[in-house]
Amino acid sequence: MKDSGKLDRVVAEARRAAAERERGYREQALTIYPWICGRCAREFTRANLRELTVHHRDHNHDNNPPDGSNWENLCVDCHEDEHARGMLGDYLTGKR
């Protein structure tokens, strides 16, 4: 039982670190790039900015070069199209 508790903590810590890292790249991407969807050119403001998401061009969320070359701002609709449908549940519920 002790061991599984420790594993739970390790998993929780890894999830927390990943969530922080991902919040970080989203902020960076929104700083580097205009608040416009790269596909449909929909424009965003602070009021609806949560619907603008950051896509990883190579689909690797661990690849976050500081120059933003792996990021693309996409609205949630275009982002869903970019991935297989249903894959974005975590992202859209705020876990990512």
- Enumerate binding residues for Zn ion (CB under 5 A): 37, 39-40, 42, 55, 75, 78
86-to-36, 55, 63 alpha-carbon distances in Å: 23, 15, 22
- Between 30 and 42, name the residue whose CB sits nearer to Zn ion: 42
Q: How far is the CB of 18 from Zn ion (least distance, A)?
A: 15
What is the DSSP track for 14-31? Answer: HHHHHHHHHHHHHHHHHH
Q: How far is the CB of 61 from Zn ion (least distance, A)?
A: 8
- Between 29 and 37, name the residue whose CB sits nearer to Zn ion: 37
**What does the block give as tokens for 83?**
């991935």
- Between 26 and 55, name the residue whose CB sits nearer to Zn ion: 55
Cα–Cα dist 96/89, whole Å: 9
